[in-house]
Structure formats: structure tokens, C-alpha cells
Amino acid sequence: MEIIETTKGPSPNQEITSGYCFFKGQIMPLAEANVNISTHALNYGTGCFEGIRAYWNAQEGQLYVLKALEHYQRLLLSCRILKINLPYNAEELVERTRLMLAKNDYREDVYIRPFAFKASQVIKVTLTGLRDELAIFSVPMGNYVDTAGLAATVSSWQRISDNMIPSRAKVTGAYINPALANDAATADGYDEAIMLSSDGQVSEASSANLFIVRNGVLVTTPITSDILEGITRRAIMQLADDLGLSYEVRQIDRTELYICDEMFLAGTGAQIAAITSVDRRPVGTGKMGSITKQLQEAYDSAVRGKDERYMEWVTPVYK
């Protein structure tokens, strides 16, 4: 079974040059949405963002935004941590995103990037007394990674502690941490990096939460393991309940990665992506496991508005 209905799309590193975005309170051409090089967020990383997906349902001719309200609720929490004040509530942000997507008239899967940031043009290391701004843009996107089987490695780069840079907020400057880990992993021939926290326990992958399966039980790390409080992570727990699958939230030892039966990434970009080897050791049989496949299929049906049980997950774009 083909897991993703529409997998074609631009490469994740392809430059985004066209379309419409939401910026400075209005929908405008993306090419006109620019900032000055002295902008505070560009120089100091003082911004926060979300990654949201919208899935095309060809049969219905509808584009469904996945868990839009939850993503904007989390964005506003990140803004609170960074002292960014936006003149919108979560529901208003969902509607502005819907209007932007409709203006772009997509007929394919889409990735959406809301970005709230300190927009003042000053040289000062602070969060207070600066102007705040919001931008929302989007790009067609299929699979961000190969969902059928990834080769991972345990990174030498340690996951940042929440007491250093808030790990539960999607802070732009913090993403140099997973960028270093992922770049080192790919340079060594791997697809993904798995990061450990300061106590040597598994935290998460470079930019996705992590699940393993042991003896038929799903296991994922707790929010106190310096992870992002993942929206896809919560969705998988709901799917597991509905599918009658057992799961645990607990610490994971590094060596458990070498002896587990299955492993997968969980995130907006990664979706549900099987990991089939870690540090050149096969995970289970070295192929995607049955529980991962079962969750992939249930997830793909839910996000495209094909399963009535999960219609509250999605927001239709076209009225």
C-alpha cells in the first residue's frame, strides 16, 4: 500500500520563490515579504515558529490542514516564553492561514511555516522593548524524509537542556543544535541523528520525536527529556489507543535503541518514518515493522479527512 497519496514536491532544500504569504497583517506576494538585515531575529535568533502540514484529498477536491488549532496554540505558548505579543488568538491565526492557502490555490500536499519574531532593527541582546511581527508562508511538500526506512546514528551532539534554551518552544536560534547533529550524521552516511540529553538518556531525533517498540509495546520519551511537546506524538498516542496498541512514556536507554523491535520518527515534517538501523545495527528485522506500518496507514487516512473518527483533526481550506 502506498502510504502517502501525494509524495511529489520540491526538495526540502529548494528555494521558495513564489506564491502568497501572510505578512504585516495582510496576504501579499511572497516576493514582497522582506526584512532588513539588521532585524533582531536575524541577528540573535529571537523568533519562534511552527511547522504545519496540509494534505490534499483528490477524491474530495479538498485540502485539509492538520491540527491547525493545536499548532497555533503551541505557537502562542512559544511566544509567551520569548515575550512576543501577537494581536491574534489561535482561531484567528487558523482562519488567516486558511485564506492564504486558498489564495495559493494548492492541489497538492503543503507545508506551512508560521514565524513570530522580534522585528526591531537594533543591536541589543534582549527580549524586552522590541517590535514583534508575524509571517506565515507555505510551500508544496511531499515526504520530507523516506518514511519506509532510515539509517540513524546516536549523535555526539548533546540535546540542549530546557534550562539553557527552551526545548518545549520552537525557538529559531535553538535549531543550530539539531542542525549540527543532522549535518554530522549525513556527512557520515546516515539519514538522521538521535540525540541524548545531559543525563545520557535518549531525548529525540534531530527534528522529530522518537518511538521504539519493545515486545509489542510502543515507548516514547517523556516531555521532561528535553523534547519538543510534539503534536504528532500526541496524535500517535490517540491512534494507539484506538488501535488497541499499548504504549508507555518513559526514559529510554541508549542501548535500548540497539535491541528494540521497531523504531520510528514522529513529527509534522517526518510524519511517521520508520528507522531500520541505528549505528549500523539493524532495528528488528532491518525492515519496517508491522506496528509502524499500521500506524502509518491509520495516520495517512486520518490526515486526509478519510476517517470520520478524526475529522476534528483537520480544517478544510476550500469552502
Active site residue 24: no
C-alpha cell at 309: 473518527
Residues near 295 by beta carbon (within 8 Å), at least 6 away in sequence: 236, 239, 240, 243, 245, 264, 272
Distance CA 195, CA 153 (A): 9
> What are the contacts of 127-130 at 24+ separation with CB within 8 A?
127/46, 127/82, 127/83, 128/83, 130/40, 130/46
Distance CA 139, CA 18 (A): 9
Residue holding cell 540529553? 197
Instruction: Give the rounded distance of the alpha carbon of 266 from its chain centre.
Output: 8
Most distant CA atoms of the chain, gap in Å: 56
DSSP assigned state of 237: H
C-alpha cell at 112: 506551512
Q: Which of 238, 302, 228 is nearest to 265 (CA)?
A: 228
Q: Quick one: which H or E segment has residue 293?
A: helix 290-303
Q: Which of 6, 289, 7 is nearest to 145 (CA)?
A: 7
Q: Say which of 83, 170, 287, 306 is annotated catalytic.
A: 170
Distances in Å between the Cα of 106 and the Cα atoms of 61, 76, 81, 103 are: 10, 26, 33, 8
Distance CA 243, CA 73 (A): 27
- 217-220 and 247-249 strand pairing: parallel
Q: Which of 266, 261, 253 is nearest to 202 (CA)?
A: 253
Distance CA 63, CA 229 (A): 26
Catalytic site positions: 170
